[in-house]
Amino acid sequence: MALSATTETAFANDPAWIQDAHVDHYIQSWSVQGAKPRVITGGEGSWFWDSDGKRYLDFESQLVNLNLGHQHPVVVEAIKAQAEKLCYIGPAMGNDVRSELAHLIAEVTPGDLTSTFFTTGGAAANENAIRLARHYTGRHKIIARYRSYHGATAGALELTGDPRHHLGGPGQSGVVRMLDPYTYRCPAGHPDPCPVCTGAPHLEELLMYENPNTVAAVILEPIVGTNGLIVPPDEYMPAIREVCDRYGILLIMDEVMAGFGRTGKWFACDHWDVTPDILTTAKGLNSGYVPLGTMTVSEPIAQWLKSNLFPGGLTYAGHPLACASGIASIKVYRDESIIERAAESGRFLEEKLLGLAKKHPCIGDVRGKGLFMGVELVKERKTREPLVPFNAKGPNAAPMPEMMKFAMDEGLYLSFFSNVIRLTPPLIISHEDIEFGCEVLDRTLDIADRHTTG
């Protein structure tokens, strides 16, 4: 139905109308409804602005997806050109952009990852990865970690270890939990050598209880994103790979957040030269300009699929607009040396954060790789007592929301999970903007310092 002239005018010009309609008619992700949002009217590069013209530096890349920043002209042009040419064609049809993107992904992904199923986002990629792993191995259990987020569809939420998985209902059976290589707060007390943080002993123990012949796959975020920017020790990933190989278990890496240059390499697994059997991505692949995710499988699985059914399908698998934006993005990654820039800017950001750690007693740990950084806040450095408890809500979460609001009012968009602030700006960010962000962060951390006891 066409909008009435009054509605059209109101929609175009009135931020208050937009807020009201947002509250009355739109359901927002993972939220109690009813809060009026800031109305954002535009963005460019590392910045976006609201209906009052106030500008914000996007230190979160929205949902850690805008790797190329807002409105990269090459990607915008590619979407426009594809829209003129062919907006949609069914997934079984041969299509130039679909084939080209699948070919490019085989080029940039590590090892023998070769064939890609396209989805509309990260959850659907993981959903298809575990279904395929079960089908391929004939086994049903999946080992997933506690400090993880794998998406909000039924299966992906069941894999998710963070407290949101409690909201998912009974879900599918067969997910077994593994502890995380979280050296700063090791669940095993971090003896030397540590059975959890080195990977193999803990996984082997789980397999002893579970029977390896029932386990289809281990799924993990090689560097944990949402749940606290957790980087495993260097020996972890090769050890997990070796155990999986020994028992015929597939290794699925969820690089929805960490992939496509975020950590200063094409993929986080490249830091350890470990290739998974299945790699899932989304977000940074095309900066989310058009919904797109991928599930890429290794050569043996690709060959197996030549005589076995692939057990999944989506109307929008290999959507031409999404594929065109993915091709353009990979071109930008290469032409503008985005991966190298992310590594270099990541070192610059890390230096700044380590400088802030010297000044602010609330900083317990600075960690991450590339522009995938986290700052963990504590009440006291010696005891490492978290500034706010795990998954704190309401008054228990103070002062985290107050800090986010302060930063936003000062023109810096930040985000956090429990007591960890995420610093994940667009990979194209300038040093000058990193300096601005860290200057606001410096003043923001004064709020947390007032809550320290050490």
Ligand X SMILES: Cc1ncc(COP(=O)(O)O)c(C=O)c1O
Among 230, 253, 257, 322, binds ligand X (CB under 6 A): 257
Instruction: State how far the alpha carbon of 312 is from the alpha carbons of 317, 380, 450, in Å.
Output: 10, 49, 52
The encoded tokens of residue 22 equal: 């947002």
What track of x and - describes contact with ligand X for positions 282 through 301 (by CB under 6 A)? Answer: x----------x--------
Task: State how far the Cα of 91 lies from the Cα of 117, in Å rounded to an integer.
Answer: 10
By beta-carbon proximity to ligand X, the closer residue of 98 and 283 is 283
Helical spans, DSSP H, in 94-252: 96-108, 122-137, 154-159, 200-210, 236-247
* 181 lies in the site for ligand X, by CB under 6 A: no
Query: Residue 142 is inside which H or E element, if any?
Result: strand 141-145
* 268 lies in the site for ligand X, by CB under 6 A: no
**Residue 96: CB minimum distance to ligand X, A:** 25
The encoded tokens of residue 256 equal: 């929805």
By beta-carbon proximity to ligand X, the closer residue of 155 and 264 is 155
Give the binding range for ligand X (CB under 6 A) out of 74-82, 99-107, 118-126, 202-210: 118-126
Amino acid present at 44: E
By beta-carbon proximity to ligand X, the closer residue of 122 and 318 is 122
Query: How many helices and strands (H and E) does the chain possess?
Result: 14, 16
Give the binding range for ligand X (CB under 6 A) out of 119-127, 373-381, 384-392, 413-421: 119-127
* 241 lies in the site for ligand X, by CB under 6 A: no
* Contacts for 178-181: CB closer than 8 Å, 24+ residues apart: 178/143, 178/144, 178/145, 178/146, 178/202, 178/203, 178/206, 178/218, 178/220, 179/145, 179/146, 180/145, 180/146, 180/147, 180/148, 180/224, 180/230, 181/230, 181/232, 181/233, 181/236
The encoded tokens of residue 104 equal: 């490019």
**Residue 291: CB minimum distance to ligand X, A:** 8
Among 45, 69, 122, 222, binds ligand X (CB under 6 A): 122
Residues near ligand X (CB under 6 A), total? 16
* 161 lies in the site for ligand X, by CB under 6 A: no
Task: State how far the Cα of 160 lies from the Cα of 145, in Å rounded to an integer.
Answer: 8
Map tokens 């985005």 to a residue.
Answer: 338
Taking each helix axis from N to C terminus, what angle separates 236-247 and 200-210, rounded to the nearest 10 degrees? 30
CB neighbours (10 Å) of residue 36? 12
Task: State which residue has the least CB distance to ligand X.
Answer: 122
**Residue 64: CB minimum distance to ligand X, A:** 7
By beta-carbon proximity to ligand X, the closer residue of 352 and 369 is 369
By beta-carbon proximity to ligand X, the closer residue of 236 and 417 is 417
**Residue 450: CB minimum distance to ligand X, A:** 31
* 226 lies in the site for ligand X, by CB under 6 A: yes
* 225 lies in the site for ligand X, by CB under 6 A: yes
Among 45, 151, 181, 346, binds ligand X (CB under 6 A): 151
**Residue 5: CB minimum distance to ligand X, A:** 37
Q: Give me the phi and psi of 364, to 5 degrees please.
A: -95, -35
Helical spans, DSSP H, in 61-178: 61-64, 73-85, 96-108, 122-137, 154-159
* 326 lies in the site for ligand X, by CB under 6 A: no
* 256 lies in the site for ligand X, by CB under 6 A: yes
* 121 lies in the site for ligand X, by CB under 6 A: yes
* 150 lies in the site for ligand X, by CB under 6 A: yes
Residues in contact with ligand X by CB under 6 A are 63, 121-123, 126, 149-151, 221, 225-226, 254, 256-257, 282, 293
